[in-house]
Chain A
């Protein structure tokens, strides 16, 4: 065989392979389209019933019975359709659809899938159970979030627990945030935040956990949920927790909760003997609490030698509005280290309030385009 023949045969083989692949793709698309059309035809007779049932927002016995009586083939097309409608609706309409799925056994079937060998199947079942919420097996999902050997399944289960929003899952989610099979902190935190204020008692217990991650997440979420009753435990954590991360998150949480009683603790957190990162966060938190005492404290912090502390104090004063302006102006007019920070924030306030305006927008001299010139008016 000559080299030419070998090349020719190889080329022909490649062309044949390409044609075979193209044919396979076309056939697969055709089959998929056919299946889609078939499913649509199977769903079509049930659509008016389904829409009437959902929009009446109450269980009509006849319509319910007809939908639930769909044969296995029709139901296999109808079930994904109902699930897609659940994703679009809230309130009683959604509850009617979830009840249909519950009565037809979808939730029981998904629950069984949680223990199947395939990780993709378990994750898919966990995701759907989270969507279907009220009838989902909370404990099975908690077990999955804590112990499943597949990281993706643990993440999906933790998300599902957040979707379901039962505060009883707080303990499991806190535990899921630490340990060798931990879910990423932001996933656990987001799910915990979705549990609402009902999770507060467990989060307050979490602040006393021996696990740093649990304490850090608890502090963060208590702040996000604005649990005022947690101010005392957060104040202790901001001052005394052995871990800097927990102290920082607790100080931030105190700012978010915004109770004035937190000011003395936050003031101590801004003290020169504390870590600069904690001092900077505490300065911002002082501003979030606000009030005359906070303004006085922040005005002092403008002269702080640590850049982040002085900058945060200046921004916090800027956010406090007119009441903080005298303090900012006083410092800006002086010669202390805080003067540039105060001046910068005052300039930002001027820009925001429209006192700085474009004087010559789009100015041009010959072919040379000049930059926009700004100035202060009023």
Chain B
């Protein structure tokens, strides 16, 4: 089963996104801070990681950087989910190697489509 990591320090967001992805048939693991998120990526090797940017411990971009530098999980698809909506924030996210960037407030339906698109890109 395709697996997705949802990392966000906001419990509402974690539960909302997890519910949506589970209902769509994905296996979901969650993390409430950056350090845990990185550990989960290495331990569970999810197909996609949905990372909040502003998390306690390691930030989402720190996690992304560490994932990209990791020899075994460097290819994990990463979607940044963040309230930072400035053009330079989005550009910085992509420059670090994010596969997609979603701005809060977000539409759960759109998030699901983006996860599917990111997975589709990898399949193709």
Q: Which residues in A have some Cβ–Cβ distance to B below 8 Å? A: 47, 51-52, 54-55, 57, 84-85, 87-94
Contact = CB atoms under 8 A, between A and B. Distances in A.
Interface of B: 10, 12-13, 15-16, 19-20, 23, 104-110
Given A51-B19, A52-B19, A57 B12 contact: no
A89 B20 contact: no
B108 A88 contact: no
A55 B105 contact: no
Nearest to A92: B109
Contact of B105 (A47, A51, A87): A87
Given A47-B15, A91-B108, 17 more contacts: A51-B15, A51-B16, A52-B19, A55-B16, A55-B19, A55-B20, A57-B109, A84-B12, A85-B16, A88-B10, A88-B106, A90-B105, A90-B107, A91-B107, A93-B16, A93-B108, A93-B109
Contacts of B107: 89-93
Contacts of A91: 107-110
A89 to B, nearest CB: 5
A231 to B, nearest CB: 27
A186 B105 CA distance: 24
Name the prevailing secondary structure of the B interface residues.
helix
B23 A55 contact: yes
A176 B12 CA distance: 37
A261 B108 CA distance: 44
Contacts of B19: 51-52, 55
Contacts of A52: 19
Contacts of B106: 88-90
| The 6 nearest A-B residue pairs measured at CB | A91-B107, A90-B107, A55-B19, A90-B105, A55-B20, A93-B108
Contacts of A57: 108-109
Of A57, A87, A88, A91, chain B has the most CB atoms within 10 Å of the CB of A88
A190 to B, nearest CB: 15
Nearest to B13: A88
Contacts of B15: 47, 51
Contacts of A94: 105
Of A52, A55, A84, A94, chain B has the most CB atoms within 10 Å of the CB of A55
A88 B109 contact: no
B63 to A, nearest CB: 21
A213 B51 CA distance: 45
A57 B108 CA distance: 9
B49 to A, nearest CB: 19
Nearest to A87: B105
A356 B109 CA distance: 47
Contacts of B10: 88
B86 to A, nearest CB: 15
23 contacts: A47-B15, A51-B16, A51-B19, A52-B19, A54-B16, A55-B16, A55-B19, A57-B109, A84-B12, A85-B12, A87-B105, A88-B12, A88-B13, A88-B105, A89-B106, A89-B108, A90-B110, A91-B107, A91-B108, A91-B110, A92-B107, A92-B109, A93-B107
